[in-house]
Structure 1
Amino acid sequence: MAKGDVDTYYEDGQWKNKVEGNSRASSVHDTKMDAQAAGRDMAKDRGVEHVIKNMDGRIGGKNSYGDDPRSSKG
């Protein structure tokens, strides 16, 4: 299975999705809603976490779509 969480973020006037470890954005969108939907689909397909950032770069939300090794077991 592919590795690398998916980040949705704002840069240079556009909303982008990038897979952790890649140097370039995987997709570019005009609106946060479009980028978030595409990022969610990418994360679901890869079985990884989707990190959604606000325009200022701070994390606004996270969703996990796989076996999250960071979650507690108990």
Structure 2
Amino acid sequence: MAKGDVHTVPHGDGWANKVEGNERVSNTAETKAEAQTKGRDMAQKNGTEHLIHKKDGTIGERNTYPRGRDPRQSKG
């Protein structure tokens, strides 16, 4: 995992997004869905990976957003 990757993680009674390498969370949300949306937007903007954790803390999903290239436009 590279510095700057965005992790959507359980946080207290809700969820938060934490950028790898930062000490503090970037933002919080009441629901996982809301936190995922914020985290995805952050990762897309920064061209990094978005790792979505499960309630138990394990990684459930990961998505990569390369800088300057829209993966939906690639063939395959």
Give the alignment's TM-score, normalised by structure 1: 0.84
Cα shift at 1:36: 0.2
- Percent of matched pairs sharing the same residue: 51
Q: Distance in 2 between matches of 1:53 and 1:35?
A: 11
Q: Which amino acid aligns with 2:40?
A: R
**In the alignment, structure 1 residue 7 sits paired with structure 2 residue 31:** no
Cα shift at 1:32: 0.2
- Give CA-to-partner distance per residue, 1:21-72, whole Å, 9 cap, x none: 00000010000000000000000000000000001001010000016xxxxx
Q: Distance in 1 between matches of 2:57 and 2:48?
A: 20
* Alignment match, 2:47: 47
Give the alignment's TM-score, normalised by structure 2: 0.82
Aligned residues: 65
Flag structure 2 segments of 5+ consecutive residues without an equivalent. 68-76
Cα shift at 1:11: 1.9
Cα shift at 1:16: 0.1
Ranges of 4+ aligned residues in structure 1 off by more than 4 Å: none
* Alignment match, 1:56: 56
